[in-house]
Structure 1
Amino acid sequence: MEFFVVQALTGLASAASLFLVASGLSIIFGVTRIVNFAHGAFYMLGAYAAFTFTERWTGAFGFWGGILLASLAVAVVGALVEMILLRRIYRAPELFQLLATFGVTLMVEDLVVLIWGPEDLIGPRAPGFKGAVEVFGQLVPTYDFLLILLGPAVLGLLWLLFHTTRWGILVRAATQDRDMVAALGVNQKWLFTSVFALGVFLAALGGALQIPRNAVSHTMDLSIIVEVFVVVVIGGLGSVTGAFVAAVLVS
């Protein structure tokens, strides 16, 4: 019994990062209807960027600031990718979209190897969360408890964003009927770009938060994307709450 409790806690910690990535993909697909295979690449890029920032800056402010800055920087990159490439293929067949975003994945992976090298990188431990708590005689990292709390917190923030802001209402409306939103005079291009940037931010944040737990590798994009697609399909395309529940079940 004790073993299963500890494994459940570890699984919930992994589910938090998986939820962040899956919720971003779910939001993007719900609005743009694009099959974004490059989502895992942004997850990986967030981890590498966070590794670079946290290695340069020390202390709690440097670590958490580096995590946030890395996520924002990758979100900007994602917005540029959407404006330059994806905006041109929204009406294209899904297979074409899949191949195009897979091409982005390959380019990002080659770029990562060129900049950071092919070796796995070990990130720093999170300041203030370097210890462990004994649960039924087994040690569980305190950082895992932070991730367990982070998942529901992000879910709550996303719910507030989509239900209490005008932008969130437009996003939910676009999820139901994009043509009607366009007919009401909403600038679809910038709405899609902002949604894509938010989704990429969540993916990059999920990757950045993994650096104290796992080695940063140039293959981590392909290792996460399959699980993310499974979570999105189980939870329902465009459903953030469904992604949270599915992430817990899958993990």
Structure 2
Amino acid sequence: MSSLGMALLNSLDIGLLLFVIAVGLNIVFGVLNVINFAHGALYMLGAYLAYTCMTLLGMSFWLTLLVAPLCVAALAVLIDRIMLRFIYQREISDSLLLTFALLLILNESVRLVWGTGIHVIDPPPLLQGTAALPGGVTYPIYSLFVVAVGLIFVCALWFLFNRTRVGKIMRAAALDRDMAQVLCINTKLVITGVFAFGAWLAAVGGVVAAPMRAIDPGMGDKIIIESFIVVVIGGLGSFPGTLLGAIILGLIYGFGGRFFPDVNLILPFVGMAIVLLLKPHGLMGKGAST
């Protein structure tokens, strides 16, 4: 029972953190029709800014969680205005090439500023240690915090998209940008805001992940692969699909790492391949029912 409980908690920990990161990637695709290869680099930048704020500037973790994602979102606004605005009406392959180039630029910039070494930061004192849970399971308090953050984001984003004017504007821009503009919606502002929001979500994931994972220049490459697996499994442009894909990948990692450690690295790709064979649009993507 203890092993199953640990595997389930690990699955939720991994899956909900992946959801926070991957949902930003999927929102950008759903509204802008841009597959952002640089999303992982923005996640990495959030983690490095967390290291800088906490270690070099002496900020608390809670203030860092506010400041670092806002800095990454501000950078995303500049990227949108300087680079991406020119390719929104072009073929999707153009956005792939441009964001891949942006990924390389950000990766090399991180190496120049922070070096190639590995950095670590500690969780805030309030979240250090372990907690005894029912069923004889002892689990890190910080990991429980990550699960709570993920659940908060699931509820908050659902509310944003389904119960607020901002969410309805974003959905309208995603469905028909020209019609939204006819209805006096400032689509340029919406586009910039959506890209910045996606970057903010990636950076939040980076800050939250920083006390759990080593901060190194390659961390963005791994997370973008995992994020793509999530959105492919769930379906490009689908918010519920992102949650479903993240939970499925979390279960693969959580149970695979505990019971099938020798093949755990290939299990996500096997799962993605099975979904693509059975549901080419993803489990909940557009056209998944056809």
TM-score range, shorter chain: over 0.9
In the alignment, the residues of structure 2 paired with residue 214 and residue 134 of structure 1 have an alpha-carbon distance, to the nearest angstrom, of 23
In the alignment, the residues of structure 1 paired with residue 7 and residue 110 of structure 2 have an alpha-carbon distance, to the nearest angstrom, of 32
Q: Within the alignment, does 1:230 sit opposite 2:229 as a pair?
A: yes
In the alignment, the residues of structure 1 paired with residue 106 and residue 122 of structure 2 have an alpha-carbon distance, to the nearest angstrom, of 23
Q: Secondary structure, in 3 states, of the residue corresponding to 1:175? A: helix
Provide structure 2 residue ranges, at least 5 long, that are not aligned to the other structure: 251-290
In the alignment, the residues of structure 2 paired with residue 10 and residue 148 of structure 1 have an alpha-carbon distance, to the nearest angstrom, of 9
Q: Tell me, yes or no, if the aligned pair for 1:122 and 1:214 is still in contact at 8 Å.
A: yes
Match of 1:155 in 2: 154
- CA RMSD of superposed structures (Å): 1.5
List per-residue Cα deviations over 1:91-140 (Å, max 9, x = no partner).
22222211110110111011101111100101122220111124555532
Match of 1:88 in 2: 86
After superposition, residues 11-50 of structure 1 pair within 5 angstroms as 11-50=11-50
In the alignment, the residues of structure 2 paired with residue 91 and residue 246 of structure 1 have an alpha-carbon distance, to the nearest angstrom, of 29
Using the TM superposition, give the Cα deviation of residue 177 of structure 1 relative to its aligned residue in structure 2, in angstroms. 1.7
1:106 partner amino acid = L
After superposition, residues 49-68 of structure 1 pair within 5 angstroms as 49-56=49-56, 58=58, 62-68=60-66
Using the TM superposition, give the Cα deviation of residue 199 of structure 1 relative to its aligned residue in structure 2, in angstroms. 0.7
Which deviates further from its counterpart, 161-170 or 103-112?
161-170
1:157 partner amino acid = A
In the alignment, the residues of structure 1 paired with residue 167 and residue 74 of structure 2 have an alpha-carbon distance, to the nearest angstrom, of 20
After superposition, residues 186-201 of structure 1 pair within 5 angstroms as 186-201=185-200
Using the TM superposition, give the Cα deviation of residue 213 of structure 1 relative to its aligned residue in structure 2, in angstroms. 0.5
Match of 1:133 in 2: 131
Using the TM superposition, give the Cα deviation of residue 183 of structure 1 relative to its aligned residue in structure 2, in angstroms. 2.2
Q: Within the alignment, does 1:113 sit opposite 2:117 as a pair?
A: no
Q: Which has the higher contact order (CA 8 A, sep 6+)?
A: 1
Q: Tell me, yes or no, if the aligned pair for 2:22 and 2:227 is still in contact at 8 Å.
A: yes
Q: Within the alignment, does 1:174 sit opposite 2:178 as a pair?
A: no
Q: Tell me, yes or no, if the aligned pair for 1:112 and 1:218 is still in contact at 8 Å.
A: yes
In the alignment, the residues of structure 2 paired with residue 98 and residue 137 of structure 1 have an alpha-carbon distance, to the nearest angstrom, of 48
Using the TM superposition, give the Cα deviation of residue 53 of structure 1 relative to its aligned residue in structure 2, in angstroms. 0.7
Match of 2:288 in 1: none
Q: Tell me, yes or no, if the aligned pair for 2:5 and 2:137 is still in contact at 8 Å.
A: no
Q: Tell me, yes or no, if the aligned pair for 1:175 and 1:238 is still in contact at 8 Å.
A: no
Quote the sequence identity (%): 40
In the alignment, the residues of structure 1 paired with residue 88 and residue 153 of structure 2 have an alpha-carbon distance, to the nearest angstrom, of 28
List per-residue Cα deviations over 1:60-104 (Å, max 9, x = no partner).
x71111122001100110111111111101122222211110110
In the alignment, the residues of structure 2 paired with residue 55 and residue 183 of structure 1 have an alpha-carbon distance, to the nearest angstrom, of 49
In the alignment, the residues of structure 1 paired with residue 20 and residue 147 of structure 2 have an alpha-carbon distance, to the nearest angstrom, of 12
Using the TM superposition, give the Cα deviation of residue 57 of structure 1 relative to its aligned residue in structure 2, in angstroms. 5.2
Q: Which of 74, 77, 80 pairs up with 1:79? A: 77
In the alignment, the residues of structure 2 paired with residue 54 and residue 11 of structure 1 have an alpha-carbon distance, to the nearest angstrom, of 28
Using the TM superposition, give the Cα deviation of residue 11 of structure 1 relative to its aligned residue in structure 2, in angstroms. 2.0
In the alignment, the residues of structure 1 paired with residue 132 and residue 216 of structure 2 have an alpha-carbon distance, to the nearest angstrom, of 30
Match of 2:96 in 1: 98
In the alignment, the residues of structure 1 paired with residue 125 and residue 174 of structure 2 have an alpha-carbon distance, to the nearest angstrom, of 39
Match of 2:5 in 1: 5
1:192 partner amino acid = I
Q: Secondary structure, in 3 states, of the residue corresponding to 2:118? A: coil
In the alignment, the residues of structure 2 paired with residue 95 and residue 57 of structure 1 have an alpha-carbon distance, to the nearest angstrom, of 40
Q: Secondary structure, in 3 states, of the residue corresponding to 1:209? A: helix
Provide structure 1 residue ranges, at least 5 long, that are not aligned to the other structure: none
Which deviates further from its counterpart, 19-28 or 132-141?
132-141
- Name the count of aligned residue pairs: 249
List per-residue Cα deviations over 1:25-53 (Å, max 9, x = no partner).
11111100011111011000000001111
